[in-house]
Structure 1
Amino acid sequence: MLRDSANNKNIKLKMGYNISALPTFQTEGKAFVVKSILESQTIKMLNDAGSFDPTAKGINSIQLLDTDVVIQDGQACGFNANGGAVLSQATLTIKPLKINQEYCSRDLEKTWAKGELQKGQDYTDMAFYSDIAELNSKKASLELEKMVWQGDTGLTQSSSLKMIDGFIKQIKAGSYVNLSGATGSTTLQKLQKVYSLMPIEVRTQDDFRIFVGKDVFDQYVADLAEKNLFNLPEEGTILGTTGKYVAVNGLNGGHVVAARLRNLQSGGEMTDIDFKSWYSNDDDTVKISSRFSLGVVPVYVNEIGYGKF
C-alpha cells in the first residue's frame, strides 16, 4: 500500500503491475511505448538447419554414428576385417516451462481502463492486454535465447537460466576445443585465431559457424571500421578467413562458441510462443498464460570450441 500525499489518498497496488505512475483519467493515446528489449535468434537458426525438434517431449535419444576406416594393402588375396561403425547416443532432455500472470482490472478503472473499456466489452478485449502479451512474448524469446546458451540448473538465485543446462555448461563438461588461446590486440585478430584453432575437418564444413554475442560483434565492427569497412551484417564471413560468424544475444558477455550446426541439437514445443488471456469471474482478475518446453544438447563435443574474450 502506497500513500499519495498530494491527493490525500491511498494507492492500492495488486498483482502484476504498478499503476502509481498513471494519473487520474483524462484522455490519452491508446498506444503504449514498449520498452526496448533484445530477441532470440538461435532457436530459429537451429530449426532452419534441422537441429531443432518441435515435437520432442521428455527424454529423447539422439542416435550418433561414426566409422573407423582402415585402408589395407590389397596386393594379397583374402579378407581381413579391420575398422567399422561406432554407434552411440546423446540424450536430449526437454523441460516443460510456463508463464503465468494475473491482473486486477478494477485497479485501472479510474485511470487507463476507463478510456478503453466500453459498455458490454470484456476486460480481455482491451488493447492493453494485447500489449502485455506482445511484450511478454518478446521477453520470453530473449530469456529462452539466453537459456539455450547459458542455462545452468546448478544456479541457486531466482533466474530463468536455472530451468535447463544450456550448451555452454554441457560443452565445458566434455572434451571440447579450448579457445583460450584465441588472443590478439583486436577482436578481429581473436576471431581469426578462433577459426585457426578449430580442426580443419570441422571448420571447412558448410554448417560450421562461429557464434559470438552482440557485444563481441560490436567490437568486431569497430575493428573493421578502422579499415573503412562498414555496414557489416550480423551473419557474415570473418575478414581474412572463410569462417562464417553469427551474432546472437544468448552469448552476450564475451562468450564464443565454434561449432557445426548439426552438433547443436535442441527441441521442444516453442517455435511460436503464444499467450492467451481470459477474464476470471471467480476472482475478478484477468489471467495471462503460456506453456512451452525446451531442451538442448551438444553432440560430438570434441568438434566444438568454446572460449571467452
Structure 2
Amino acid sequence: MKRTRNAFTLVELLVVIAIIGILVGLLLPAVQAAREAARRMQCQNNTKQLGLAMHNYESTYKRFPGGVGRYGCCWGTWQVSILPYIEQTAMYNLYQNSGGADPGPRYSATVNRPVVSSRLPTLTCPSDTPNAPIGGTTPITSHNYAVNYGNTSFFQTELNGIRFMGAPFHAYTGSTSDDGPPNAGAVAGFPRIYGVQQRLGSISDGTSNTLMASEVLQGRQNDLRGFTWWGGASGFVTYLAPNSTSPDVITGGICVSMLSPRMPCTTNTTVTAPRMMATRSTHAGGGVNTVFCDGHVTFISDNIDYIVWNSMGTSQGGEAFSHD
C-alpha cells in the first residue's frame, strides 16, 4: 500500500509567515500602547505620592519646603527636604548642609554623593529615559518632577507685561541672573533671601486651583534639565505652556536641544527670556501629569487655553477659571 506524506508546500509556508507578520504588526502597537498606559498610570501615582509628601511636610512644619535653599542653587532643594516623606529618611540623615551656605558642603560634595547619586523611584517617570548628567565614579542623577515657581520666571518678577502673582514655592525671587553667593566671602553681604517657605494659607486663589508640581523631562547627556538636586532645574513656570515649542532657559548649566522628545532650550538668559523651564513629558496624546496644592492629580493637555494655564501657576492672582 502506497503511503502519501502530508506537508506544507513552500507557498503555504510563505502565506503562513506573511499572516503571522501581519498579526504581529497589528498587535505590536496595541502592546506598546498598553505598556505606555501602564507607565503613565505609574507616573500619575508618583505625582500623587509627591503631593502627599509635600502635605506631610507642611503638616510637620506648617509651610511648604523652600524650592531652593536660603542662598540659592547648591545646598539642597525641596527634593532633599521631602526625603523623609517618601520613605528615604536614611538618605535625608546622610545629607549635610541642606539649605545652608558656604563654606559648608554643596549637593555635589563627596559627603553628599551617596544621596545625590541615588535614583528615587517615586520621582522617576518610567515613560522617560533616566539620565545622570554629572559624571565621575558616582554620577549624580536627574529626575522627573519639579515644583511650581509661578506664572513668570524663576526670578518671580513681572515678565513681558505679565505680573508675578505669587507661587507656592519660591526660588530666585528678585534676582536678575545669579545663583546665589559665589563663595563664602560673599555670604555676609548677600542682599536677597532665596527659597522663602510658603504657608498653605497664603494660597488665596484656592488650593484646588493652584499647581503644586508637575512633570519635567530628564535631559540627555550633560543636559541639566531634570537635575532637581540643583536649584536651576528644581521648578517650572506656567509662562511656558506644557511641552512648549519655546525654549527652556538654563542659567549656569548646559542644555542639549532635542526634537524628539521635544526639548528646545537655550543658555542665553535675557531680560525678555530669563531663567525658566516648562513642564514636559512624552505621554501619548500630548500633556503632563500635575498635582494641585489640595493634592488632586490631573492630566493636562498641551491644548489647554494659555490664560487658564498661566493662571494655574499663580497662588494670589484672584483669577476665576475651570480646568475640568
- Whether TM-score is above 0.5 comes out as no
TM-score in terms of structure 1 length: 0.25
Higher strand share: 1
Higher relative contact order (CA closer than 8 Å, sequence separation 6+):
1
Structure having the higher Rg: 1
TM-score in terms of structure 2 length: 0.24
